[in-house]
């Protein structure tokens, strides 16, 4: 077979001398029975091959972390052997190891190697052979499909590389979808999902693997799927949505009696803003029906991050999931994605992040986010936080003016030389600034348009008390630290006040964003 991969085989005593492209493709076709197996052959990945072709571990190196998409590709009984060899290979290079989206099937083998498993979500799996639109449970999907059909939506299918004219229309749809998701600077994710620009490469790769499969007896159905694209057209003949499916392989390619499920996994799913309602449901239903005719045993609707229908996560993990998705706004909106997939009533199967060290989890998380191209999300989060903080500082300046103005109005309207009355005036003025701070920050800084509730009011009141305490504590601490360095009393006092204001502003902003006005 012609070597079509420009990647190089790592120099290691555990790696096979067989040409990488042929070995990797054969092992993928024989044992690639999980959703990410196909993505493991991406050009950006490296490939660890155990001598004799016992097994394959695809990985990508980022920040000293070797991230593996899914489980090793090998016979089930060889998983522990292949994983141990790969761990030794990485240990010699002092790399951390992370198996991304592993299945529960091999958790026992991983734990035997003293690896740590953390649930990261659930994958939605369907059996096309038993899938049906009948029954009350599927009423929502039936209604959506019929609505799209009444709008005149037509579905066309392409196996392999779609025609150039179709690709041009798909590019327009993809561009509109991306812009709607994140503006002109939006970027696609990767590593465990495809990108629009990779459709042609992926389709050609799937064709090569299918064409290299051994011939089966006449009358016996092939179980080597190819890359599939479904395109939805309006009555006017314009493309309004499309989906792509990547192959799920397995030993069924060579052994029809094998139990491994083979089929397709949903990858790209995009539509124009004005696409007829129900078009995505119609695309998925027609895809499942098409795959049933072809004899597929499984269709994956993909992973939903942090999904936990089996209630396997600890309370701390659920809090972390809420913080990452709701408060930081990373990883999209898993609840919306879960609700959409749940309409098809799939079987939810847990997926795990398996690592060789729990101490390096922050480093591993950053590596995974970077490879999945969530760096754009992190940049957007940083920019959003910076803008919010500037608003918060402007509100703080306005509140200070309100505080001073209210204090002087009281002095002008009710003059006094009594220090206790002066403290009372100060308290009233400070409360005026506090009330102003609450409403300006709620509706302008943090854009919380929902009605004010008791929880927000009580938390804000508590934060004001805390603000007084830590502000006094910070000015005392700053004064102690700066006293040996600044001899002028006025300069010393104002420097301590400035330090307390800067640190206190950051603390109060954090409290407001993540506690008072959290979503």
In angstroms and rounded to an integer, the radius of gyration of the C-alpha atoms of the chain is 29
Q: What is the pLDDT of residue 221?
A: 47
Q: Which helix (H) or strand (E) holds 57?
A: strand 55-62
- How is residue 349 annotated by DSSP? E
**Is 0.85 surpassed by the pTM of this model?**
no
β-pairing, 154-159 with 228-233? antiparallel
**CB neighbours of 234 closer than 8 A, spacing ≥ 6?**
151, 152, 153, 240, 275, 276
Tokens standing for 43?
A: 């050009």
Domain ranges of the chain: 1-115+356-373, 128-296, 381-516
Q: What are the tokens at 348?
A: 């939810």
Structure tokens at 369: 């986010």
Closest CA to 389 of 508, 515, 519, 498: 508
Please state the length of the chain.
Answer: 519
- What are the C-alpha distances in Å from 256 to residues 30, 73, 314? 12, 19, 41
Residue 96's CB is within 10 A of a number of other CB atoms, namely 20
The one-digit pLDDT tens for each residue of the chain (519 residues) are 333 333 333 434 444 334 455 778 888 988 999 999 999 988 889 999 987 778 999 999 988 999 999 999 999 999 999 999 999 999 999 999 999 999 999 999 999 999 999 888 899 999 999 999 999 999 999 999 999 999 999 999 999 989 999 999 999 999 888 887 764 445 677 788 888 989 999 999 999 888 877 765 444 445 689 999 999 999 999 999 999 999 999 754 444 433 458 999 999 999 999 999 999 999 999 999 999 999 999 999 999 887 888 778 777 666 655 555 555 455 556 678 888 999 999 999 999 999 998 887 788 887 877 776 654 445 555 666 677 778 877 887 887 787 667 767 877 788 766 656 655 666 676 677 777 878 887 877 777 767 777 887 888 888 878 876 776 677 678 778 887 888 776 677 667 767 776 787 788 778 777 777 765
Residue 52 C-beta-side C-alpha neighbours within 13 Å: 5
Q: Taking each helix axis as running N to C, give the angle between helix 375-413 and helix 361-371, from 0 to 180 degrees, rounded to the nearest 10.
A: 110
pLDDT at 65: 92
Measure the CA–CA gap between 38 and 159, rounded to whole angstroms: 16
Which H, E and C letters describe 10-46, residue by residue?
A: CCCCCCCCCCHHHHHHHHHHHHCCCCCCHHHHCCCCE
Let me know: does 141 contact 134? Beta carbons within 8 Å: no
What residues contact 397, with CB distance under 8 A and at least 6 apart?
A: none
Which pLDDT score is estimated for 452? 75
- Look at residue 148 in the predicted model and tell me its pLDDT: 95
- The tokens of 422 are what? 């002066």
Picking from 481, 429, 383, 427, the residue whose alpha carbon sits closest to that of residue 182 is: 383
For residue 441, what are its two tokens? 């920050």
Q: What is the pLDDT of residue 74?
A: 92
**What was the pLDDT predicted at 431?**
72
What pLDDT sits at residue 145? 95
| CATH annotation of 128-296 | 3.40.630
Strands 154-159 and 73-74: unpaired
* Other beta carbons less than 10 A from residue 473's beta carbon: 12
Residue 480 and residue 474 in contact, taking contact as beta carbons nearer than 8 Å: no
């Amino acid at each position: 077979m012609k070597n079509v991969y420009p990647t190089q085989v790592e120099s290691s005593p555990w790696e096979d001398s067989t040409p990488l492209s042929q070995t990797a493709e054969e092992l993928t076709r024989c044992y690639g029975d999980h959703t990410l197996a196909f993505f493991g052959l991406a050009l950006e990945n490296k490939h660890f091959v155990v001598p004799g072709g016992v097994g394959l571990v695809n990985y990508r190196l980022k920040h000293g972390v070797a991230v593996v998409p899914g489980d090793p590709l090998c016979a089930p009984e060889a998983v522990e052997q292949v994983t141990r060899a790969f761990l030794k290979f990485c240990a010699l290079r002092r790399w951390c190891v992370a198996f991304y989206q592993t299945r529960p099937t091999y958790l026992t083998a991983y734990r035997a190697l003293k690896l740590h498993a953390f649930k990261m979500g659930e994958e939605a799996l369907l059996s096309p052979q038993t899938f049906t639109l009948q029954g009350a449970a599927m009423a929502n999907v039936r209604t959506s499909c019929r609505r799209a059909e009444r709008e005149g939506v037509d579905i066309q299918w392409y196996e392999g590389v779609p025609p150039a004219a179709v690709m041009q229309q798909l590019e327009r749809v993809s561009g509109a979808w991306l812009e709607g998701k994140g503006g002109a600077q939006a970027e696609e994710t990767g590593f465990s999902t495809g990108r629009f620009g990779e459709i042609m490469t992926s389709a050609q790769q799937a064709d090569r693997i299918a064409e290299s499969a051994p011939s089966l007896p006449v009358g016996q159905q092939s179980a080597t799927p190819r890359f599939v694209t479904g395109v939805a057209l309006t009555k006017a003949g314009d493309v309004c949505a499309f989906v792509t499916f990547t192959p799920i392989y397995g030993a069924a390619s060579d052994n029809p009696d094998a139990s491994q499920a083979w089929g397709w996994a949903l990858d790209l799913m995009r539509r124009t803003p004005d696409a007829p309602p129900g078009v995505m449901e119609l695309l998925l239903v027609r895809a499942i029906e098409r795959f049933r005719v072809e004899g597929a045993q499984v269709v994956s609707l993909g992973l939903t991050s942090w999904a936990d229908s089996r209630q396997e996560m600890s309370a701390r993990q659920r809090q972390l999931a809420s913080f990452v998705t709701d408060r930081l706004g990373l990883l999209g909106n898993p609840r919306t994605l879960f609700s959409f997939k749940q309409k098809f009533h799939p079987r939810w199967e847990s997926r795990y992040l398996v690592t060789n060290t729990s101490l390096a989890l922050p480093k591993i998380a950053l590596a995974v986010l970077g490879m999945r191209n969530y760096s754009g999300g992190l940049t957007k989060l940083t920019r959003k936080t910076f803008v919010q903080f500037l608003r918060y500082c402007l509100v703080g300046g306005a509140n200070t003016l309100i505080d001073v103005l209210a204090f002087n109005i009281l002095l002008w309207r009710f003059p006094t030389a009594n220090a206790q009355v002066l403290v009372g005036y100060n308290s009233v003025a400070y409360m005026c600034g506090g009330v102003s701070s609450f409403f300006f920050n709620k509706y302008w800084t943090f854009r919380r348009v929902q009605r004010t509730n008791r929880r927000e009011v009580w938390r804000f009141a508590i934060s004001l008390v805390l603000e007084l305490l830590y502000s006094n504590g910070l000015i005392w601490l700053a004064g102690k630290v700066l006293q040996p360095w600044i001899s002028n009393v006025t300069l010393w006092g104002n420097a301590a006040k400035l330090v307390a204001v800067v640190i206190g502003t950051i603390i109060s902003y954090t409290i407001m964003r993540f506690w008072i006005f959290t979503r």
